[in-house]
């Protein structure tokens, strides 16, 4: 069973000139990237995500600001991840219910293993628990 985990990307540079981080497949990204999207200007009071995927894998990166991610696995294990360094990503495998809460200045970059398909989403928590019962 795949589980969520943090990925530390290379951080190349120095504080006087700035940094660059690299996310390559398969060294750092455990899947071939088929879609990239980003979220921004999300009010702090809004809880986003609130879904799981049947097949899509994702890596979430807070390229700016802070994002608190709650990840619930099918076996009921719940983990809290704090993303606030642009050289750290969070791997979210399929069948993990996840929610995100953003600081006002947060920009989240998402690398996904598949293109958008509404049928891949599990949007009801009760349905998630039924589908992925251990």
Task: Give the active site residues.
Answer: 51
Characterise 45 by phi-psi region: left (phi > 0), alpha (psi -120 to 50), beta (else). Answer: alpha
Q: CA–CA separation, 96 vs 78, rounded Å?
A: 10
Token representation of residue 17: 């000139």
Strands 67-72 and 78-83: antiparallel
Element (H, E) at 127: helix 125-131
Q: CA–CA separation, 106 vs 129, rounded Å?
A: 30
């Amino acid at each position: 069973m795949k589980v969520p985990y943090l990925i530390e990307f290379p951080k190349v540079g120095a504080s006087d000139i700035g940094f660059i981080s690299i996310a390559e497949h398969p060294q750092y990204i455990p899947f071939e990237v088929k879609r990239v999207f980003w979220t921004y200007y999300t009010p702090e009071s809004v809880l986003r995500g609130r879904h799981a995927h049947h097949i899509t894998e994702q890596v979430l990166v807070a390229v700016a600001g802070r994002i608190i991610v709650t990840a619930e696995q099918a076996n009921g294990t719940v983990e809290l991840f704090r993303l606030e360094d642009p050289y750290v990503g969070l791997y979210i495998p399929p069948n993990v219910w996840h929610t995100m809460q953003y600081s006002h200045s947060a920009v989240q970059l998402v690398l996904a293993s598949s293109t958008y398909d509404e049928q891949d989403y599990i949007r009801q928590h009760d349905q998630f628990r039924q589908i992925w019962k251990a």
